[in-house]
Amino acid sequence: MIVGKVVGSVVATRKNENLLGNKFMIIEPLDDMGNGRLVAIDNVGAGIGEMVLVALGSAARIGCKMESSPVDAAIVGIVDHSIGLNG
């Protein structure tokens, strides 16, 4: 799991049928959390500028109850308060 900031959104009018109705957000991981931006499915209603928790890999699919979907990153929480994090 990583912590990152939502920096944008992605609109895809054509996508896998298992992804219909879902929102996609662009995440900028904190400096020591990742190697670059990623796109994550958002089932918690995160907004641009918010710090979020992102599950990766199979944990992302399980966390958003989409086990048979092509999901590799999912926002699973919005950070209200943190201690010792940059950003």
pLDDT for 77 equals: 94
Give per-residue pLDDT as tens, 1-47: 999 999 999 999 888 887 888 899 999 998 777 678 999 999 899 99
| Residues in Cβ contact with 38 at an 8 Å cutoff, skipping those fewer than 6 apart | 4, 26, 27, 29, 54, 73
**Spacing of C-alpha 69 from chain mean position:** 15
For 28, the token pair is 């900028």
pLDDT for 76 equals: 93
pLDDT for 85 equals: 58
For 79, the token pair is 């950070």
Contact 41, 62 (CB under 8 A): no
Contact 70, 16 (CB under 8 A): yes
For the chain, domains (ranges, CATH) are 2-78 (2.40.50.220)
Closest C-alpha to 37, from 9, 71, 66, 79 = 9
* pTM of the model as a whole: 0.84
